[in-house]
Every structure is written in C-alpha cells, then in structure tokens.
Structure 1
Amino acid sequence: MIVAHDAVGRLLKLLEKQKGREVAAGDWLRIDQQRIDRFAEVTGDIQWIHVDPERATTESPYGTTIAHGFLTLSLIPLLTRSNHPDFFQRNYPGMRYRVNCGLDRVRFLTPVRCGDRIRARMLLHSAEQVADAVKIVYQVTVEVEGSDRPACVCEQIFRVYP
C-alpha cells in the first residue's frame, strides 16, 4: 500500500503543475453523413434532421443534416486521443488503469452540420485524492472549424489507480 500511496502522491504533484493547462488537442475530424447515419442506426435516433439530407436541405434551419449531440460527445476520446496508450503513460506515470466516471455540465452550444470539421481541446480542471485513487476532472471543448461558438463543452471525470 505504501507504493500505491507514493504513486498517488507523485501523480498529484505532477497534476498540480498542469492545472488550467491544455493537456490534449486533437486533429480536425470531418463529420460526414455516413458517420451520422451509423450513429443513428446504433442509437435508434433516426430523426429526419440527422438522417434525411433532402428534407434537411429544405426544412432545417441549418440547410443540411446535423450530427447528434451525443455523437459529438461520444467522439471526445477520439478527438482528444485520450484513450491512446501514449496519453495514459505520459499523463499518469506510475498508474495502472483509468475508469471513466462520467460527465458534468454538458452543454451543446452550436450544431455540427454534416461536412463540418470538429476538434477537441482538454484542460486539466482539478485533481484530488479519493481513497486509493486520483480523481481528475477535465474541461473539454469541442470546436467547430470556422465557428466562434463551440459545439459542446463539458467536464469529464476520471479516476486513475496505481
């Protein structure tokens, strides 16, 4: 248990230096109709504004289909590359695994139109010891290329364990 405590302490010191700083920024990803359709099929959310390009062209205020908000949210690990082994090793030295605890303060601020490119930025909001783990909260912003407003902002919560 001493080893685990030491690993937690070392990680907390490292994270303290990173508070408020960007820890991940992903590449741009184009959201196409195929991705939107696949998400609709998996989730059962087949509302026309997502899956009917012809109708969306004439009836939608966006002039095209839009991605599901939850599709945008589900892409955060890909957009931040936070599930990549290098991310884990670089950001959580001495730790063995990470558990996704959920999200807080999720907001969808602007739609992602079919054909838009999005990327995500992740800032370290806070880190604290909770039992034998470190609870980490990231502020995530999903940007839409060419837009002043983000598509999504949220707090993502993890626990990492030695």
Structure 2
Amino acid sequence: MSKVNIKSYADLLQYEGQEMGVSDYHTITQEQINLFADATLDHQWIHIDAQRAQTESPFKSTIAHGYLTVSLLPYLWGQIINIENLKMQVNYEIENLRFNQAVLVNSDLRLRVKLLSAKDLRGVIKARLEVTMEIKDSKKPAFTGVITFLYHFND
C-alpha cells in the first residue's frame, strides 16, 4: 500500500471529500490490553482476566478497552498518510464517536479514513476526518466518528 504524500495545505485540500486510504491490519494482543490497563488504571476483569471472561462474559473472551482502539488512530493514520514539512500535529477534537462492537483479544483492526474538510486557520491547517475502525471478518466496525487534527507546517 502506498501512502498519500502531503507537503502543504494545497496538497491536503485536493483530497477533500474523498477517502484517503486504509491502513494495514493491527492485531490486538492480550499483552497490549494489559499494558493499556496498567497505563490507564482500568483493570476491569473483562479486559484482563481471560478465565473469568471465558465463563462470565457474553463475549467469551477478553476485550480491548474502547479507548485503546481510539488511541491507535494516530498510529494507523500514519500508515495512510505521509506528511512532510510538518512542524507539529495536534489532536484537536473527536466528534460523534460511537463504539459499535467490542474488540475481542487477537482481533485484527484497520483504519479507513475520508477527509471531510481541510481549512486554513491563519497558517494552522484544521483537518476533519471521518474514521472507521474496521474489524477483520466483521460487518460491524469497532467504532466510527470524526476526528480533527491541527497541522502546523514549517512554512
């Protein structure tokens, strides 16, 4: 898969209203779930206790934290787009985020992104992206929503 190369606001604007791409799949492991639980202090058994989840959870498996899947956005977005001449990228906003389905341990996720809009705010580029976190072999995505990044280019 080739990345979309962006060097400026004008480059980004060309993709407005279009799908920009789809990332590679990323497997959610129990180790990653456990590390996220440690980092966020969210040790609810549905995430970290495989034996209990197998017998008591409707999913019959541990599941990833919803916010773990959201935290993968910048990583997977980086597989779709290559932004050159960038001074800084800032997470700005998440709108209409809806968790549609639990992500079971060892699921493969990928990100699909459409650029809704790009605006120049006095030299800072505000990009609104429609995001869908897909689960391999599932009709329902893990989540959908709109995220906004602010891009500060070097010139």
CA distance in structure 2 between the aligned counterparts of 1:12 and 1:126, rounded to whole angstroms: 11
2:17 is the alignment partner of 1:20: yes
CA distance in structure 2 between the aligned counterparts of 1:51 and 1:95, rounded to whole angstroms: 38
2:71 is the alignment partner of 1:71: no
Match of 2:96 in 1: 105
Structure 1 alignment gaps of length 5 or more: 1-9
117, 125, 128: which one aligns with 1:134: 125
- 8 Å contact kept, 1:57–1:65: yes
2:77 is the alignment partner of 1:80: yes
2:137 is the alignment partner of 1:118: no
Q: How many positions carry a matched residue from both structures?
A: 147
What is the CA distance between 1:11 and its match in structure 2? Answer: 4.1
What is the CA distance between 1:12 and its match in structure 2? Answer: 4.4
1:36-51 map, 5 Å: 36-51=33-48
Match of 1:156 in 2: 147
Match of 2:57 in 1: 60
Match of 2:26 in 1: 29
Q: TM-score, normalised by structure 2?
A: 0.85
What is the CA distance between 1:156 and its match in structure 2? Answer: 1.4
CA distance in structure 2 between the aligned counterparts of 1:49 and 1:99, rounded to whole angstroms: 32
What is the CA distance between 1:80 and its match in structure 2? Answer: 2.3
- 8 Å contact kept, 1:137–1:157: yes
Q: TM-score, normalised by structure 1?
A: 0.82
Structure 2 alignment gaps of length 5 or more: 1-6
Higher share of residues assigned strand: 2
SS where residue 140 of structure 2 aligns? coil
> Which structure has the larger Rg?
1
Superposition RMSD in Å: 2.0
Name whichever of 57-66 and 100-109 sits farther off: 100-109
